Amino acid sequence: MKRCHHLCSLLPIWFSLVILFLNSHISNGDNVTYDQRALVINGVRRVLISGSIHYPRSTPEMWPDLIQKAKDGGLDIVETYVFWNLHEPVKGQYEFEGRKDLVKFVKTIAAAGLYVHLRIGPYACAEWNYGGFPVWLHFIPGIKFRTDNEPFKTEMQRFTAKIVDLMKQENLYASQGGPIILSQIENEYGNIDAAYGPAAQRYIKWAASMAVSLDTGVPWVMCQQSDAPDPIINTCNGFYCDQFSPNSNNKPKMWTENWTGWFLSFGGAVPYRPVQDIAFAVARFFQRGGTFQNYYMYHGGTNFGRTAGGPFIATSYDYDAPIDEYGLLNQPKWGHLRDLHRVIKKCEPALVAMDPAYTSLGQNLEAHVYKTSSGACAAFLANINTQDATVKFNGKTYQLPGWSVSILPDCKNVAYNTAQINSQETTSEMRYLSSISEGTTQPLSKLSSSGWSYVKEPVGISKADAFTRNGLVEQINTTADASDYLWYSISINIRGDEPYLVSGAQTLLHVESLGHVLWAFVNGMLVGGGMGSASNVKTSLSQLIILDDGKNTIDLLSATVGLQNYGAFFDLSGAGVTGPVTLSANGVTLDLSSQQWTYQIGLKGEDLSLFVDSDDSDSLWVSDSTLPTNEPLVWYKTQFKAPAGNNPVAIDFTGMGKGEAWINGESIGRFWPNYTASSSNGCSLCSYKGAYSSSKCLKNCGKPSQQLYHVPRSFLQEGANTMVLFEELGGNPTKISFATKQTGSLCAHVSEMHPPQVNSVAYPEMTVSKQKPGPLVRLTCPGPDQIINEIKFASFGNPQGTCGSYSHGECSSTDALTVVQQACVGTNNCSVAVSIKAFGDPCKGVTKSLAIEATCSS
Ligand code: GAL
């Protein structure tokens, strides 16, 4: 008793000590702040490399691999927007399952040991439907988006708080021991705020203090918002941000969107951005005082379902990102940037210590040096001209290729040049299954001999909930985006006594639409159509038609292709047939615009959920030998076996027109393989030298904008899989095929003049400490179980050409093939020194390079 008395009196103290200990260990919180140089984590300024991966643009099954690849690529942070319309499709009803599982995504990033930048917005832009806003928001009385408007602010605050609370409940903020070190409120409002007048500033002040009041314990940013109120950090978005400076000298220079390519539009060519230019832009940013940089996108992924923004944003959101749409490395982009990150990390102690000291080395030749009193020194030498240059720096001579930056982590030796790629390149290969019917599991009784069954979608009004209105209605206000489709239907009765409308004679039907796609049917027959494009979303139609005696029906099918996601008042841009709609004959025009029209929102097949395999709709599917092809408005269904193996799967929709596709009930997005990019000269060769813009480098001119559509492996199952297509304008589904994507060849072409391969702690096997450092070719098979099985080409001398078509120059070592074969064949990865020591000297006095093409076993 006595002893207890003594000990017991100490209990409360012990107890609080235990709680303190537990708290500090359980929450293990990071303290994230910032100063004029950098984000500061637990008192330490950090150089941080970040990359955007949007969780709903891949699948939870893909996330761990994507995040690991991001980590291996040298990222510290994964950035994502939060997509409001995904999580709250109906006001007050939240969804966080499957691809919408934000908490799981954040935890997966944490499990890989990376940080998170959560851009809550909740306006996102992002080529996402309606910029991420739920369409119901538009119908709140008195609402005005993104301005000082009470109904809007109430909703914005409610959703932002909802997400912050969700993250807090799960202890996901760094302050709670979680991975989130940064959050964004709004998005690029500064680009368009002038259009909102003085209310804009009130709104941005409100948004800032609302965000801060949510007390996340980590800093907030606003991108492209030069008047971002303290303590919010204003950050830069763009292809280059080295010239940017934040609005206070207490804030660090941060780059939230470095566009690694650009997005694809239906009807457009495929944009790409050379990695030498991205590396140049990144190096310039760190050269000139930046400490935080995010790739938008690091993995772009896929706009599944109807999530694509618009108008006309394609289903693929590949973006030419370092990881491709399918989750495979986009090489040499991924590797060359990984090498850059390693070198920048070597410079970190010097970079965070101070602002750089600038010296000019000549016209458009710049040196920036970070040199600390404790001896750390990092230098960046930039050549902003397009021609090569030789410069003198600290008494030494350096060659600087045009439009490049050399990084010297010790202020003496070049460890990296943005224009000299050491990393391997890979070609990818689509392997086609010979036909879709090859994959058919069994000819189910429901399928015809072609392997397909079908349902014809009725032309015009077929649903019980159709309604009439006087005049033409705007589409988005009418459908609330419940479907892409709105039918506009009207009857014209020809009695025979009209002076102008004559049965059997030609009549001109003219229709004006705000977009995006329009099909006109007269008496059930398709007579014409029109479609807008990303640059002009409106469309119109002028078509000669023939009317019959008595009742004639004109049915106009208007389709949206993703709702506008960018610009001032983007929410009000509107779509659909707002007129005029006229008929003209014999010099007289009849305006139908204000007459009574009958409307139908969506398709009958959508109401019947034809895209889901169910007993209810089973009996509707027809399987006879006359599969309708090249006819508008047909639903198609088939069954197939998933392609064998683990390689990513794509469907090639060649042969189809436009529509949407579902695999086992999951929409893989809109398909539109017959919308081709114009063949005019936009695709001529593009050099990485000189300032990049989104239309500078394009490919696939004259070809379909998107022919291949990603089917995530997790959408597929063993045994029978069901595919349903809705074809809007006419196609032949028997022509579509499955393909798998794999690496074709590994290639590298490295010159003796390149800096040495970048060593790294993360890749100990790469350390070549015993060798004299020099450039290396390093090849790695993409799969851990793969080995290099063939060297298709090897040349040391002056080989030419590109991966897949290298050729020997007049100078070439006779040993090259044997040396490379010995070093590489049978291994998963190999390194070969680019040196005369390894190959002998086939041409003295000439700068030589080593080119290799190899393949890996599958
Ligand atoms: C930015 C925007 C991003 C994305 C990007 C283009 O203006 O912030 O959300 O839309 O443009 O891909």
Task: Quote the ligand 1 centre to 127 CA distance (angstroms).
Answer: 7
Residue 436's pLDDT is: 52
> Looking at the predicted structure, is the pLDDT value of residue 705 above 80?
yes
Q: Known catalytic residue: 853?
A: no
Residue-averaged pLDDT of the chain = 93
Average pLDDT over residues 795-822: 96
Q: Is 79 in the pocket of ligand 1 (CB under 6 A)?
A: no
Q: Both ends of the chain: CA-CA distance in Å?
A: 75
Which residue would you say has higher pLDDT here, 626 or 207? 207
Report the percentage of the chain scoring pLDDT > 90: 87
Each residue's pLDDT tens digit, 37-93: 999 999 999 999 999 999 999 999 999 999 999 999 999 999 999 999 999 999 999
The pLDDT of residue 27 is 53
> Known catalytic residue: 188?
yes
- The atom of ligand 1 lying closest to the CA of 125 is 9
- DSSP class of 433: P
| pLDDT per residue as tens digits for the range 330-374 | 999 999 999 999 999 999 999 999 999 999 999 999 999 999 999
* pLDDT number for residue 21: 46
- DSSP letter for each residue of 709-760: EEE-GGG--SSEEEEEEEESS---GGG-EEEEEEEEEEEEEEETTSPPPPP-
Nearest CA among 439, 438, 403 for reference residue 420 = 403
**What ligand 1 atom has the least distance to the C-alpha of 187?**
8
Query: 284 by DSSP, 3-state: which?
Result: helix
What whole-number distance in Å separates Cα of residue 52 and Cα of residue 299?
7
Residues in contact with 144: Cβ distance below 8 Å, sequence separation at least 6, in sequence order: 151, 152
pLDDT of residue 201: 98
Of 217, 106, 207, 95, the residue nearest 155 (C-alpha): 207
Q: Let me know how long the chain is.
A: 858
Q: What is the mean pLDDT of residues 696-712?
A: 97
Is the beta carbon of 127 within 6 A of some atom in ligand 1? yes
φ and ψ of 366, to 5 deg: -130, 140
Phi-psi region of 772 (alpha: psi -120 to 50; beta: other; left: phi over 0): beta
Atom nearest to 309 CA in ligand 1: 10
- Residue nearest (by alpha carbon) to ligand 1 atom 11: 126
HEC secondary structure over 342-366: HHHHHCHHHHHHCCCEEEEEECCEE
When pLDDT is averaged across residues 507-516 and rounded to a whole number, the result is 97
Q: How far apart, in whole angstroms, are the C-alpha atoms of residue 450 and residue 437?
A: 8
> Per-residue pLDDT tens for 453-474?
999 999 999 999 999 999 999 9
How much is the average pLDDT of 817-827?
97
Tokens read off for 155? 């909703």
Statement: residue 26 has pLDDT above 70: no
What's the rounded Cα separation, in Å, for the pair 707 and 726? 16
Query: Is any ligand 1 atom within 6 A of the Cβ of residue 163?
Result: no
CA dist 663 to 640, 667, 710, Å?
10, 6, 11
Name the active-site residue from 79, 186, 188, 457. 188
pLDDT of residue 101: 98
pLDDT band at 617 (very low <50, low <70, confident <90, very high): confident
Check if 738 has its Cβ closer than 6 Å to any atom of ligand 1: no
What local confidence, expressed as pLDDT, does residue 771 receive? Answer: 44
CA separation for the pair 39, 830 (Å, rounded): 38
Which of 117, 566, 693 to probe ligand 1 with, by most ligand atoms within 8 A of CB?
Answer: 566
Cβ 125 under 6 angstroms from ligand 1 = yes
Mean pLDDT value across residues 6-24: 50
Residue 16: per-residue pLDDT: 54
The predicted-structure confidence for 736-789, as pLDDT tens digits, reads as follows 999 999 989 999 999 999 998 776 433 333 344 444 568 999 999 998 999 999
Residue 221 Cβ inside 6 Å of ligand 1? The answer reads no
Mutate to test the pocket of ligand 1, among 125, 225, 570 (most ligand atoms within 8 A of CB): 125
Going 566 to 572 to 575 to 578, the CA torsion angle's sign is negative
Predicted local distance difference test score (pLDDT) of residue 858: 75
Ligand 1 atom index nearest CA of 127: 10
562-610 tens-digit pLDDT = 999 999 999 999 999 999 999 999 889 999 999 999 999 999 999 999 9
Å from CA of 290 to ligand 1 middle: 21
Task: Check pLDDT > 70 for residue 620.
Answer: yes
Ligand 1 atom 5: the closest Cα is on which residue?
126
The answer to whether 253 and 232 are in contact (CB under 8 A) is no
Query: What pLDDT, on the 0 to 100 scale, is given for residue 482?
Result: 98
Which residue CA neighbors atom 6 of ligand 1 most closely?
Answer: 126
Nearest CA, atom 4, ligand 1? 126
CB-ligand 1 contact for 318 (6 Å cutoff):
no
* Catalytic, out of 257, 348, 512, 666: 257
Mean pLDDT calculated for residue range 411-417: 96
- Among the atoms of ligand 1, which is closest to the Cα of residue 188? 8
Chain mean position to CA 542: 37
Angle between helices 275-287 and 333-346 (to 10 degrees): 20
The candidate with the shortest Cα–Cα distance to 192, out of 204, 181, 183, is 204
Give, using CA atoms, the residue closest to atom 7 of ligand 1: 188
* pLDDT band at residue 447 under the 50/70/90 scheme: low
Q: Distance, CA 123 to ligand 1 centroid (Å)?
A: 11
Dihedral sign (CA 117, 120, 124, 129): positive
**Residue 424: half-sphere exposure toward Cβ, Cα within 13 Å:** 24
Q: What are phi and psi of 722, to 5 degrees?
A: -110, 135
